[in-house]
Amino acid sequence: MEAATRDLKIFSGSAHEEFAREICSTLGVPLAERKAFRFSDGEIGIALGESVRGADAFVIQPTCQPVNENLMELLIIVDALRRASAARINVVVPYFGYARQDRKARSREPITAKLVANLIEHAGADRVVTADLHAGQIQGFFDIPLDHLTGIPLLATHFKRILRKQAQEGRVVVVSPDIGGVVRARKFAELIHADLAIVDKRRSYDVANKSEVMEIIGEVEGKTAILVDDIIDTAGSIVNAANAIVANGAEHVYACAVHGVLSGPAIERVQNSPFVEMVVTDTVPLSEEKKIPKITTLSMAPLFAEAIRRIHLDHSISILFQPKPRRRQG
């Protein structure tokens, strides 16, 4: 069946329905009906409220907290779509949970990111759309097409606007909070035409989410520093990095990440941190108690909407990964 004749059906799980509704609003299509319920023993139940036979179905569900609940609901929706004869099932996972368990760091550890990829495939997904995976090699964990979007240009555009004068004067430095994030930070620095620095730290594996900052590689003294990461979870690492940057003479410190998980003590840490502003996107929903003045949220729904539109029409989405051409001056 040709793309133009397939119905477009967009379903949302319970994790982030607001994000799904914004995508639908951008595309000018209604959010498809589905009912979620619980059996008395806690099992998740799903009922699709409309026919999907022969349709191009998209399921929008970040596997954020509560991770296992949201993952299981996603798998159940995909299974329901498969059994209801959807022509294509496209899984849209703005935030891919378990992505940090992408390798064996120690003996006898699982590779849970690969397990999750297997579960999504075997449930019946034909395609996956996600953003800023913690480790790029996770794309290879899938044997179905995976479109890997990025929110880095969106974040960079925000800082180009608010720090334009400092950047023109060469007083902005982009900082990677660890060695592993250098490629991401370098791309961000190129987008805003700033210098690059790195926080060299030694991570302690005795306690989860704990790390020790060692030293700063690069010049931050007298500059405005922007810490760039893919995920901010408990905020311990990025706040420690900010404190180290300030101790090394930075005038102002900002932080940004695509995925603002912000679990546990994160909000308290951010509130008491030296950050002028922390910027995240809406791939993970922020509860009301997490919406503090220091945190700014940018929407990635338009980017995901355009990806969905192009996939539905069988158009290339490679243009979404290409940097916009620079405007000529004068």
Q: Which residues are catalytic?
A: 201
CB distance 270 to 295 below 8 Å: yes
Token look-up 């990635």 returns 300
- Among residues 252, 231, 239, 189, the alpha carbon closest in space to that of 213 is found at 239
Q: How far apart are CA 10 and CA 61, in angstroms?
A: 11
What are the C-alpha distances in Å from 25 to residues 30, 103, 208, 243, 288? 7, 38, 40, 41, 23
Three-state DSSP state, 316: coil
CB 294 within 8 Å of CB 275:
yes
The overall longest dimension of the chain from CA atoms, in Å, is: 68
Q: How far apart are CA 113 and CA 102, in angstroms?
A: 5
126 residue type, one letter: D
Using DSSP's 3-state secondary structure scheme, residue 279 falls into strand
